[in-house]
Structure 1
Amino acid sequence: MSKPKPKILFFHGSGTNADIFRLQARKLHALLEPHFDLRYLSASVPCAPGPGVLPFFEGCDPYLTWLDDSTAAAERAFWAGGEEIPRLAREARRLGGVVALVGFSQGAKVAMEVARRLETGEGEGEGEGEGEGSSSPSPSPIKMVLSVCGTAPFHGGFVGGGKAGEHVVDPEREVLYRESLKRGVVKAASVHWIAARDPWKAESDKLVGFFDEGTRTVIQARGAHHMPLDDKANEQLAKLVMEAVTR
């Protein structure tokens, strides 16, 4: 019997779903599939189609989002006591052999928080038949996180993220963004694909700060808010993933 491949979890952007993301990430998928078991997770909150989803993905509903980040209060409820992040961390532990996370747009900040909780052991044992405080946190298997056009918790402290000219600091979001950052950075290696024409670029820049400075790689790329389409760009990302998980 052949040895199971290590797993990579993919987190889609808001207003899409796992099936749509598989198509959006098809070039990267094709390069990674020979070496990894690729799993695409779906959010659980219905929403309207995301930017650029229609008309190409007409009829590919349900369109889903990981969280309501329309207001600072709504997003605070997600990070503080929501069930989605604990559910995803439990799923990663249940699957076993997960070595990397790939997140696009809103999915990138979710992947960041899943990686952070796996590293800290926060919530470990909940719903898994283990007693509270029964053991020390298990070492995180996550070796790297790939963020593509990622957005940041609480819009990175900005208001009206995504609209040209509206990257204005919002006092409430800024406080909550900084509180989130103080919870600690992800130690695993990370790669950040930041697109020059992405309306959410300012958030992508802020998300970088949630990852350890010594293990992160930032790629300032051309393009807009979408998965890389160029073959060489995807080859570069696939190579970086391979290098990170084989160290």
Structure 2
Amino acid sequence: MPPPTTTPILLLLHGSGTNADIFRLQSRKLAALLSPHFTLLYLDAPHVCDPGPGVLPFFEGCGPYLTWMDDSTPEKEHDYWAGEQIGRLVGEVRRKGVVGVVGFSMGGKVGMEVVRRLEAEDGEGGCQGGVKIVVAVCGTVPFQGGVDKQGGEDEVKGVRYRESLAKGVVKAQSVHLIGEGDPWRAESEKLVEFFGEEGRRVVRFRGEHHMPVEDALNRQVVRMILAACGGV
């Protein structure tokens, strides 16, 4: 008998204050279009936290609610980027042979950093044979882009943000889905800077901080993922 066929793996990273099971529901429209072409890998973040924005009351009792990091202060966020947990996630992505990453909200900046580190490990050639595309949906950015919650400049966050950006841009293709009414839209716009100009595409949609529900937009995203991955 011929060996069983396997489909390429896409990694899906949830936002803060949810979990992998909740994200399966939040991303169900996109997932339904992707599943004929890819194996979808949902991972849980490592830390327990309060429910995220918009999670309650619909996902009441669906905890534990999880987060990738404590980014309430630049010092605490720096601990995550400098710690072992992000390294373990990078190693898991490499071992599983992930070809693409879809990250929502905080999952967007985590996905960016995972791919950037993979590319750095692989040298000038980038992540050859590895991650081809990052899709950041309403993504937030390292150190909130150097601003505080009121939108003013924060000196410490600004220094950390510039240090992170100076580490280089992601070479893989990227798609940035930015909600026009998203309270964190400014962060999504700044996350774009962490990706190479030639390979990035920005798509703004009518919506707030959520996965897009419009069928046409989800089909467009799937086409871009398939194109980046060679049609699979």
TM-score, normalized by the shorter chain, greater than 0.5:
yes
Partner amino acid for 1:244?
A
SS in 2 for 1:169: coil
Distance 2:59 2:66 in 1: 13
Partner amino acid for 2:210?
H
Q: Is the 8 A contact 2:99 2:229 kept in 1?
A: yes
Distance 1:114 1:156 in 2: 18
Aligned identity (percent) is: 56
SS in 1 for 2:15: coil
What are the residue-to-residue correspondences of 1:73-222 with 2, within 5 Å?
73-80=75-82, 82-96=83-97, 98-121=98-121, 139=128, 141-160=130-149, 166-222=150-206
Q: Is the 8 A contact 2:11 2:41 kept in 1?
A: yes
RMSD: 1.5
Are residues 103 and 23 of structure 1, via their aligned partners in 2, closer, same or farther at CA, if it must alter by over 3 Å? same
Could you tell me which runs of 5 or more consecutive residues in structure 1 were left unpaired when the two chains were aligned: 123-135, 161-165
Q: Is the 8 A contact 1:7 1:38 kept in 2?
A: yes
Q: Normalized against structure 1, the TM-score is what?
A: 0.89
Distance 2:113 2:190 in 1: 14
- Number of residue-to-residue matches in the alignment: 227
SS in 1 for 2:134: strand
Q: Normalized against structure 2, the TM-score is what?
A: 0.94
Distance 2:146 2:119 in 1: 25
Cα offset, 1:137, TM superposition = 9.2
Are residues 28 and 145 of structure 1, via their aligned partners in 2, closer, same or farther at CA, if it must alter by over 3 Å? same
Could you tell me which runs of 5 or more consecutive residues in structure 2 were left unpaired when the two chains were aligned: none
Distance 2:126 2:29 in 1: 36
- Name segments (4+ residues, structure 1) moved above 4 Å: none
Q: Is the 8 A contact 1:147 1:193 kept in 2?
A: yes
Partner amino acid for 1:229?
V
1:59 is matched with which residue? 61
Cα offset, 1:157, TM superposition = 0.7
Distance 2:195 2:126 in 1: 20
Q: Is the 8 A contact 1:6 1:99 kept in 2?
A: yes
1:186-206 superposed Cα distances (whole Å, 9 cap, x missing partner): 000000001110000000000
Are residues 137 and 206 of structure 1, via their aligned partners in 2, closer, same or farther at CA, if it must alter by over 3 Å? closer
Cα offset, 1:76, TM superposition = 1.1
1:93-134 superposed Cα distances (whole Å, 9 cap, x missing partner): 2212x1100000000000000000111118xxxxxxxxxxxx
Distance 1:246 1:22 in 2: 25
Are residues 77 and 147 of structure 1, via their aligned partners in 2, closer, same or farther at CA, if it must alter by over 3 Å? same
Q: Is the 8 A contact 2:29 2:213 kept in 1?
A: yes
SS in 2 for 1:53: coil
Distance 2:193 2:27 in 1: 25
Q: Is the 8 A contact 1:111 1:145 kept in 2?
A: yes
SS in 2 for 1:159: coil
Distance 1:56 1:8 in 2: 26
1:19-38 superposed Cα distances (whole Å, 9 cap, x missing partner): 00010000000000000000
